[in-house]
Structure 1
Amino acid sequence: MSVYEEGIKLIDEMFGNGKDNLIALATVARELSADGKPRPVVRCVDAYYEDCTFYVVTYAKSNKMLQIEKNAEVSIAFCSEMFTANGTAENLGWVLDSKNSGIRTKLRSAFADWYEMANNENDKDCCILAIHLIRGTLNINHWEKLYHLDFVNKTDMESGGIF
């Protein structure tokens, strides 16, 4: 098994299998800081993981989605599992759109304890956000082993990843 395959297997075990994961999602603010520089914005979101992508049910007019509309580059982090990654965010559209039926079923199952209370599926702005991972670092046992992963090329990155 390659280092990449080993890392993916660990990520699948930690975050996959229908789990509701709480991740920190960082975007770039739509307005610049007072000194003219881009400002990061971070918040926690519930996410479902499958095949190098995290999925989030959210609101199309939320600040994060407006930020993503302007700049789709995002970062995520898990503090408890020491995993950080960069990715590209994509609004998959209304949760009830027929193209979303498969992932919607999985999201409703993963988020079953709170899904109905938190989401109004009849509102066409209730949407699915996909965070497609590009590269990341999985830190096992506080630096015992690092997996620097290139999710696009499906390989490990010996020169390092995201810290």
Structure 2
Amino acid sequence: MSVYQEGLKLLEEQFGNGKDNVISLATIAREPGNDGKPRPVVRSVDAYYEDCTFYAVTNAKSNKMQQIAENQEVSVAGCLEMFTANGVAENLGWVLDPKNAEIRTKLRTAFAEWYDMANNEKDENCCYLAIHLTKGTLNINHWEKLYHMDFVNKTDMENGGIF
């Protein structure tokens, strides 16, 4: 098993298997900071993980989705696990769109305790967000072992992961 495959297996154990995860999601604000430079915005979201992608339920009119519409580059961090990554965010559209049937079933199952209370599926702005990971670092046991992973090329990186 390659180092990359080993890291993927650990990610699946920590975030996969139908779990409801809380992750931090960072986007870039639509307006710059006082110095004119891009300003990051971070928030926690419930996310479902599968095949190098995190999925969340949100509203297309939310600040995060408006920010993503302007810049799809995002970063995520596992709130309880030492995992940080960059990714490309994608609005998958309305939750009841037939193309979302498979992911809808998975998210409704993972988020069963709160899904109906928090989401109005009749609202066409109720959408799914996919965060396709591009590269990241999984930190095991406080720097005992680092997995620098390139999800695009499906390989490990000796250096250059996300810290």
One-letter identity of the residue aligned with 1:50: E
Q: How does 1:11-160 map to 2 (within 5 A)?
A: 11-160=11-160
Q: Distance in 2 between matches of 1:30 and 1:8?
A: 33
2:161 counterpart of 1:161: yes
Q: Distance in 2 between matches of 1:34 and 1:23?
A: 28
After TM superposition, give the deviation of residue 80 of structure 1 in Å. 1.8
After TM superposition, give the deviation of residue 2 of structure 1 in Å. 0.1
The CA deviation string for residues 124-143 of structure 1, in whole angstroms up to 9 with x for no partner, is 00000000000000000000
2:7 counterpart of 1:7: yes
**SS of equivalent to 1:81:** coil
The CA deviation string for residues 54-105 of structure 1, in whole angstroms up to 9 with x for no partner, is 0000000000000000000000001321000000000000000000000000
Q: Distance in 1 between matches of 2:55 and 2:79?
A: 18
Q: Distance in 1 between matches of 2:113 and 2:39?
A: 34
Q: Distance in 2 between matches of 1:160 and 1:137?
A: 9
Q: Distance in 2 between matches of 1:79 and 1:45?
A: 10
State TM-score, norm by structure 2: 0.99
One-letter identity of the residue aligned with 2:104: R
Q: Distance in 2 between matches of 1:99 and 1:60?
A: 17
**SS of equivalent to 1:108:** helix
**SS of equivalent to 1:162:** coil
Task: Give the aligned length.
Answer: 163
Structure 2, unmatched stretches of 5+, are none
One-letter identity of the residue aligned with 1:2: S
Structure 1, unmatched stretches of 5+, are none
Does the 8 Å contact 2:23/2:78 carry over to 1?
A: yes
**SS of equivalent to 2:47:** strand
State TM-score, norm by structure 1: 0.99
Q: Distance in 2 between matches of 1:96 and 1:17?
A: 23
